[in-house]
Chain A
Amino acid sequence: MADLEVILEDDPVPIVLIFGNMLKASLALPARSEIAATLIGSCALASTTDPQALTIDFSPGQTRIRHGVSRDAKIIIHLDFADMDAKPRVERLWRHPLFAYRVGQLLEPITTSWTEAAKRFWDLTAQIPGMPTGIKITNTDEQRSLQFGSDSHEVELHGDSKSLSSLLNGSGVLANEVMQGRLKILGSLEHMVVLSEVTFNLMLGNPGHD
């Protein structure tokens, strides 16, 4: 199966970058890529709390994402982007139930274990200037820790499986997660800021340091 290209609008807004990043990761899975290959038409996602919205256009060989709700969208998914666990409302579902089902499959978060996510995160970011030389990540559900880098870790990160996976997979910004109380950190302000920058860039689809 040929790779599906994900093309973002020119000068993309954050929500387009974030969903573009999510969709690229989703389409990297062969099963999902096959689903996407069957889709033709547009779906829109609109925030229930602010003007953020995007439209995903599926066509053979490529997927385009732009901001705003297209008039041609087959379905419009209304959701709270800040709370992806909240149940979305799907407009025009009854007209395109199969399309909606398949789009839902593509947008389903990829379930990666927190250990896999942590390893991948460290591999991607350890060389970025300012990163701690070592980090200890503790899963509070499992009461289990993983250590990356030097033994004398400079930063400790604590959280439950879901919060850790979400952050390390690029779905959140560390400072925000800590301020919301979902994660705890033991480290300097500088390391917290650098890790926040790294997770911010990861969320926007740019894992490198710019």
Chain B
Amino acid sequence: MTDTPFKGEKNLESWLDRHHVDTVRTQVTTLDGASLGKYCNRNKFLKTLPEGHGISDLALAMDLAGTPHMTFWHPFRRHALGDIAVKPDLDTLISDGTDPNLGHVICDFTQVDGTPINLCPRTLLKNIVAEIFDLGYTVKATCELEFFLFQNSFEEASRKKYQGLTPVGASKLQNIYYLRNAYHAKTFMDEVTKRLDWYGISWEGWNDEAGVGQIELNLSPADPLRIADDVMRVKNVLYEVAVDLDMSVTFMAHPMPGYSSGMHVHHSLLQNGKPAFYDSTQPDNRSQLLRNWIGGIIKTMPGAVSYLCPTINSYRRLKEFSAPPLTATWGEENKSTALRLVSRTPKSTRIEHRLGAADLNPYLGIAVILAGGLAGVNNKIEPPDEFKFIGWGLPDSIKRLPLTITRAAEALRQDELLREVLGADVVDYWLKTRQLEWFAFHTEGGDPDSDKPCSWEYQRYFAIV
């Protein structure tokens, strides 16, 4: 059953009445990809529109541990601590199928007078999509969500210091697509998909993934903002169902030895509703737009790693022959390259960007990919030759992507193309947040020589990212 969202209606009070909503939960996403918000009384919610309720400016200026950003500044911040606003996008207002009196709405960080804050991840993605629209194109995108599911509750997992948890599944081998493994997760996933249906989130399927206890959930393509909103909502639904069923779920990129979790982003461009990456007049069916788009994404990929692999834990995923790409390469139906191109038919033509870690911020992750493509079109960047080999076990002479948080940050610092599209202040602030992540890891108990996640990573990431 799918509920009727507010989108398309005019009378908000009438919609709230009809859906018996007396509390609205606002949801806004931080730079680190954490969900923040408040449960607002209906009257308060209505009273604060259209600007939305206030929230401390630290909400956009703190790390995952709640530590304020005290070693870097951005003009959006108040001079002696103060409020910014959480502005609801009423097109995203829905009711909750499980809690009949609750509504949900997705928001942007703005100044209290409604002025947009370009640092807000959702606002940034909107701006990039608008730039692409101005060129005459729309984007269709989707994400594959990978995560690990455990029989242990979050409380128990914390008590056990995240060691010796029981992954869901029949087998402790790293097999994939096994229906018997999937059946162990079916009760959980039935509840998840029931809630997604209610939320109006279109999902295509889910399956047992290669890691022990790992599941992949695929969403139907939509516009990039909708997909990023859905990803944030899906992550909350997964978390909440896990809490309700005394289980735990994590989007840590590499929560335990073995396979890791990524978030592959598929996307294509349309012009007047027709596939713009496909050109039947070309021998390979690839349009010039596609060539420039790939050229830009490949050229900016070293810098984009910082956004696509944002945490210390993200980099544990980037290992030879463990599925993620290690090179800035592309190839038709090549899953060992960073970009897997599918260009068989107009309808299926798309790029699958395979670098992103499961712990990325979907707004920023999609934004940096689109920014690369946009830079490619704006600067008419030609792609390197298609990579027709296997992308792992390569000779040292083949350049690898940055494999640490600091090297990725350095690559981003030097990337003038991304800086131009995303905004210099946005990139610079992000770089400072990555420096803070690096510094916190090394000085608050993280072990750089450990070949498996350490306590600091579990405490910081397991339940939050």
Taking Cβ atoms with an 8 Å cutoff, the residues of A that contact B are 11, 13-15, 50-52, 67-68, 130, 173, 175-176, 188-190, 192-194, 196-197, 200, 210
B37 within 8 A of partner (CB): no
If A11-B407, A50-B445 touch, does A189 touch B71 (CB 8 Å cutoff)?
A: no
Collect the chain B residues with CB atoms within 8 Å of residue A192's CB: 70
Cα(A51)–Cα(B449), bound, Å? 9
* Contact assessment for A175 and B70 in the assembled complex, using a CB-CB cutoff below 8 Å: yes
* Contact assessment for B70 and A196 in the assembled complex, using a CB-CB cutoff below 8 Å: yes
* Contact assessment for A173 and B407 in the assembled complex, using a CB-CB cutoff below 8 Å: no
Collect the chain B residues with CB atoms within 8 Å of residue A194's CB: 73
* Contact assessment for B446 and A193 in the assembled complex, using a CB-CB cutoff below 8 Å: no
Query: Chain B interface secondary structure, helix, strand, loop or mixed?
Result: loop
Cα(A15)–Cα(B445), bound, Å? 12
Cα(A173)–Cα(B68), bound, Å? 14
Collect the chain B residues with CB atoms within 8 Å of residue A13's CB: 442, 448
* Contact assessment for A68 and B449 in the assembled complex, using a CB-CB cutoff below 8 Å: yes
If A11-B407, A190-B79 touch, does A51 touch B447 (CB 8 Å cutoff)?
A: yes
* Contact assessment for B442 and A190 in the assembled complex, using a CB-CB cutoff below 8 Å: no
If A14-B439, A189-B81, A190-B79 touch, does A130 touch B73 (CB 8 Å cutoff)?
A: yes
Residues of B in contact, count (CB < 8 Å): 26
Closest to B448 in A: A13
Collect the chain A residues with CB atoms within 8 Å of residue B450's CB: 51
Closest to A15 in B: B442
Collect the chain A residues with CB atoms within 8 Å of residue B445's CB: 50-51
If A11-B407, A188-B80, A189-B81 touch, does A173 touch B446 (CB 8 Å cutoff)?
A: no
Collect the chain B residues with CB atoms within 8 Å of residue A11's CB: 404, 406-407
Collect the chain B residues with CB atoms within 8 Å of residue A15's CB: 442-443
If A189-B79, A189-B80 touch, does A196 touch B71 (CB 8 Å cutoff)?
A: yes
Neighbour of B70 across the interface among A52, A67, A193, A210, CB < 8 A: A193
Cα(A192)–Cα(B72), bound, Å? 10
Closest to A16 in B: B442
* Contact assessment for A14 and B443 in the assembled complex, using a CB-CB cutoff below 8 Å: yes
Q: A11-B407, A51-B449, A193-B77 are in contact. List 17 more A-B contacts (CB 8 A).
A: A14-B439, A14-B442, A15-B442, A50-B443, A50-B444, A50-B445, A51-B446, A52-B443, A68-B449, A188-B80, A189-B77, A189-B79, A189-B81, A190-B73, A197-B72, A197-B73, A210-B413
B172 within 8 A of partner (CB): no
* Minimum CB–CB distance for B404 against chain A, Å: 6
Cα(A200)–Cα(B439), bound, Å? 11
* Minimum CB–CB distance for A26 against chain B, Å: 22
* Minimum CB–CB distance for A99 against chain B, Å: 25
Cα(A11)–Cα(B57), bound, Å? 33
If A13-B448, A14-B439, A51-B447 touch, does A175 touch B71 (CB 8 Å cutoff)?
A: yes
Cα(A199)–Cα(B442), bound, Å? 18
If A14-B439, A188-B79 touch, does A193 touch B73 (CB 8 Å cutoff)?
A: yes
* Minimum CB–CB distance for B360 against chain A, Å: 22
Collect the chain A residues with CB atoms within 8 Å of residue B126's CB: none
B419 within 8 A of partner (CB): no
Collect the chain A residues with CB atoms within 8 Å of residue B72's CB: 193, 197
Closest to A82 in B: B443
B69 within 8 A of partner (CB): yes
Cα(A190)–Cα(B73), bound, Å? 7
List 5 A–B pairs whose Cβ atoms lie within 8 Å, in order of A's numbering. Answer: A51-B446, A67-B449, A188-B79, A189-B80, A196-B71
Closest to A129 in B: B73
Neighbour of A200 across the interface among B71, B438, B444, CB < 8 A: B71
Cα(A194)–Cα(B71), bound, Å? 7
Collect the chain B residues with CB atoms within 8 Å of residue A210's CB: 413
Which of B71, B443, B449 has its CB near the most chain A CB atoms (within 10 A)? B71
Cα(A15)–Cα(B71), bound, Å? 18
* Contact assessment for A189 and B442 in the assembled complex, using a CB-CB cutoff below 8 Å: no
Residues of B76-115 whose CB lies within 8 A of A: 77-81
Closest to A175 in B: B70
Collect the chain B residues with CB atoms within 8 Å of residue A176's CB: 70
Cα(A196)–Cα(B449), bound, Å? 29
Cα(A193)–Cα(B70), bound, Å? 5
Collect the chain A residues with CB atoms within 8 Å of residue B404's CB: 11
Cα(A192)–Cα(B79), bound, Å? 10
* Contact assessment for A193 and B444 in the assembled complex, using a CB-CB cutoff below 8 Å: no
Which of B69, B406, B442 has its CB near the most chain A CB atoms (within 10 A)? B442
Collect the chain A residues with CB atoms within 8 Å of residue B439's CB: 14
The 8 closest A-B pairs by CB, nearest first: A175-B70, A51-B447, A200-B71, A193-B73, A197-B71, A188-B79, A50-B445, A14-B442
* Minimum CB–CB distance for A135 against chain B, Å: 17
Collect the chain A residues with CB atoms within 8 Å of residue B78's CB: 189
Collect the chain B residues with CB atoms within 8 Å of residue A188's CB: 79-80
* Contact assessment for A67 and B73 in the assembled complex, using a CB-CB cutoff below 8 Å: no
Cα(A90)–Cα(B69), bound, Å? 36
Collect the chain A residues with CB atoms within 8 Å of residue B406's CB: 11
Collect the chain A residues with CB atoms within 8 Å of residue B69's CB: 193
* Minimum CB–CB distance for A33 against chain B, Å: 29
* Minimum CB–CB distance for A54 against chain B, Å: 11
Which of B72, B77, B404 has its CB near the most chain A CB atoms (within 10 A)? B72
Cα(A32)–Cα(B443), bound, Å? 28
* Minimum CB–CB distance for B322 against chain A, Å: 21
Cα(A15)–Cα(B441), bound, Å? 12
Collect the chain B residues with CB atoms within 8 Å of residue A196's CB: 70-71
* Contact assessment for B442 and A52 in the assembled complex, using a CB-CB cutoff below 8 Å: yes
Cα(A50)–Cα(B450), bound, Å? 13
Closest to B447 in A: A51
Cα(A68)–Cα(B70), bound, Å? 28
